[in-house]
Amino acid sequence: MGGGSTGLPAAITAAAAGARVLLLEHSPKLGGSLHVANGQMSAAGTRLQKEKGIEDSPEDHFADVMRLSRGTADAALVRLAIWNAAGTVDWLTDLGFEPDPVAPTKGIGHEPYGKARYLWGMDKGHSIRRVLETELQRHVDAGRVDIRLEHEVQALSIGTTGAVTGVTARSADGVTHAFTAPSVLLASGGYNANPQMYREICGRDLYTTLPYPYARGAGHRLALSAGGHLRGVENFFINFGYVLETASLPSPLAGRAVTYPDRRAPWEIYVNALGQRFVREDLPSIDARENALLGQPGERYWIVFDQGVLDNAPPLMAGWTREQMAAAFDGRPNFYKGDTLVALAATIGIDPVRLKASVDGYNYGVTTGADFLGRRHLPRPLGTGPFYAIRQQGAPVSSAAGVAVNGDLQVIRRDGAPISGLYAAGEILGSGQLMGRATCGGMMVTPALTFGRLLGRRLAERARQPA
């Protein structure tokens, strides 16, 4: 169930091992979240690393993930993914995947690894999707894989012993079909495109339309219906913010502010809903800044600056000119302007006294060279009206909570007992299990691909066993 970063390699490897595979995909096309993902992977001991003289090992990769997650990632799943990751990357390369020439690196956009093991293709997730679809087509042509697009799985078929024996699915014409199989793999992705489920699980509003639109939690619902359960929601995590296009939710993005100090040193200050600075704006650690935001009201903040910064600083919004920036403050949602700090605070809806105190405190640091939060880049005070603010909303891309599985990727009940015939892999396992309370580069796509390959072989072998 699901034709994305787990379902595709699972179907390929199962077919290659001699199994007959039925691939049910709700959307009109294969690829799943690879259509929207950056497709970043991480693996230790790849041929690419060896060609570039990089010494690495699964032990080092595992230690890095557990360090970055502060021990919150599921060690068993992380170990299973990492000890098989290099084989997955090499397999993709054999299929025609071409890494970006600058890869591997220690990290881009996330807290860096200790060694260069982070890689991606030139065309983001499409670089992976294309080689998988090409390889899958060989098995379709050979009659080993049957693909049914626009088939929404409605329910699991469960026998008298509690074992899963198949599924029922509704096709685009509204007809319901029943399929039997010795094994069912839930590879349907996350739930971050389902506002109701997102709120039920995470207790928050769904802010962005970034996730793949078919990531609606269908697999989660099915796993629960069979007696499974979810885990990892306590590791809910966010990035350092998006600028939303609309006031209605979920919203597309208006753009991305450049808040990476290594790409653009900050000229502005960041204040929370209380009007207070909450983090050193030029703090090098993205993980530290994301954790600081996670503790703020509404997980949002405002980037505050004055006319002098607008006129003199490098453009704040990625890909925008200074003129585009100025025009955005003429009524665009989440862009605010005021002739004075008091007026700006009223427009934003935060305490003017605290906002002024935050600006005064920052200006004192600029004058003395000793910022209260330890900030080092202090280019100019904020004092030339009008004043501006851009609202940043922290939000995740991946689903935090995931279906609980054992070391064989079988869906399990709360008592740990496996549900016979039911497996799960990919984003349905959740970032809370695969990365913990952090963002570990490549630790969503790589486990999805790797677990798909492992299960394809394992379920093909299971299909050969007597019933």
Instruction: Render pLDDT for 296-330 as a digit per residue (tens, 0 to 9).
Output: 999 999 999 999 999 999 999 999 998 899 999 99
User: Beta partners for 186?
Assistant: 424
Indicate whether 34 and 136 sit together in one domain.
yes
pLDDT > 90: what percent of the chain?
97
Mean pLDDT across the stretch 180-190? 97
Three-class secondary structure of residue 419 per DSSP: strand
- The C-alpha angle 379, 346, 308, rounded to 5 degrees, equals 20
Cβ neighbours of residue 202 closer than 8 Å, sequence gap 6 or more: 233, 236, 400, 401
Indicate whether 185 and 316 sit together in one domain.
no
- pLDDT tens, position by position, 253-263: 999 999 999 99
CA distances from 285 to 119, 236, 384 (A): 20, 19, 30
- pLDDT at residue 466, as a whole number: 79
Indicate whether 428 and 319 sit together in one domain.
no
CA 283, CA 302: separation in Å to the nearest integer? 17
- pLDDT at residue 107, as a whole number: 87
Quickly list DSSP for 354-393.
HHHHHHHHHHHHHHHS--TT--------S-SSSEEEEEEE
CA 361, CA 133: separation in Å to the nearest integer? 56
And the tokens for 314? Answer: 């490098």
Is 330 contained in some domain? yes
Mean pLDDT across the stretch 417-430? 98
Amino acid at 71: G
Is 219 contained in some domain? yes
Residue pair 253/245 in contact by the 8 Å Cβ criterion? yes
Mean pLDDT across the stretch 93-108? 95
Quickly list DSSP for 298-325.
GGEEEEEEEHHHHHHSPPSBTT--HHHH
Q: Is the pLDDT at 433 greater than 90, yes or no?
A: yes
Indicate whether 297 and 171 sit together in one domain.
no
Three-class secondary structure of residue 164 per DSSP: strand
Three-class secondary structure of residue 317 per DSSP: strand
Average pLDDT value for the chain: 97
- pLDDT at residue 465, as a whole number: 86
CA 130, CA 262: separation in Å to the nearest integer? 33
pTM of the predicted model as reported, rounded to 2 decimal places:
0.95
Whether residue 386 has a cis bond before it, omega within 30° of 0? yes
Looking at 353, 378, 393, the residue that finishes a domain is: 393
Q: Is the pLDDT at 467 greater than 80, yes or no?
A: no
Amino acid at 17: A
Is 12 contained in some domain? yes
User: What is the span of the domain harbouring residue 92?
Assistant: 7-233+399-464
CA 416, CA 233: separation in Å to the nearest integer? 18
Question: What spatial distance separates the first Cα and last Cα of the chain, rounded to whole Å?
Answer: 22
CA 19, CA 10: separation in Å to the nearest integer? 11
Which among 200, 194, 208, 163 has a CA at the least distance from the CA of 181?
163
- pLDDT tens, position by position, 225-283: 999 999 999 999 999 999 999 999 999 999 999 999 999 999 999 999 999 999 999 99
Q: Is the pLDDT at 86 greater than 70, yes or no?
A: yes
Indicate whether 71 and 155 sit together in one domain.
yes
Indicate whether 404 and 389 sit together in one domain.
no
Is 34 contained in some domain? yes
Indicate whether 256 and 278 sit together in one domain.
yes
Q: Is the pLDDT at 179 greater than 90, yes or no?
A: yes
Indicate whether 76 and 209 sit together in one domain.
yes
- CATH number of residue 213's parent domain: 3.50.50.60
Is 2 contained in some domain? no
Indicate whether 88 and 224 sit together in one domain.
yes
Is 238 contained in some domain? no
- pLDDT tens, position by position, 143-171: 999 999 999 999 999 999 999 999 999 99
Band (pLDDT 50/70/90 cuts) for residue 455 is very high
Band (pLDDT 50/70/90 cuts) for residue 289 is very high
Cβ neighbours of residue 277 closer than 8 Å, sequence gap 6 or more: 269, 270, 271, 358, 361, 362, 372, 373
Amino acid at 429: L
- CATH number of residue 310's parent domain: 3.90.700.10
- pLDDT at residue 397, as a whole number: 87
Domain count, the chain: 2
User: Beta partners for 411?
Assistant: 405
Which among 131, 142, 138 has a CA at the least distance from the CA of 89?
131
Mean pLDDT across the stretch 94-104? 97
Looking at 377, 393, 409, the residue that finishes a domain is: 393
Is 269 contained in some domain? yes
Indicate whether 358 and 284 sit together in one domain.
yes
CA 398, CA 405: separation in Å to the nearest integer? 18
- pLDDT tens, position by position, 366-403: 999 999 999 999 999 999 999 999 999 999 989 999 99
- pLDDT at residue 17, as a whole number: 97
Indicate whether 90 and 215 sit together in one domain.
yes
Which among 78, 74, 47 has a CA at the least distance from the CA of 60?
78
- pLDDT at residue 463, as a whole number: 93
Tokens 């691909």 identify what position?
449
Residue pair 127/40 in contact by the 8 Å Cβ criterion? no
Is 343 contained in some domain? yes
Q: What is the DSSP letter of 338?
A: E
Backbone angles phi, psi at 385, to 5 degrees: -70, 160
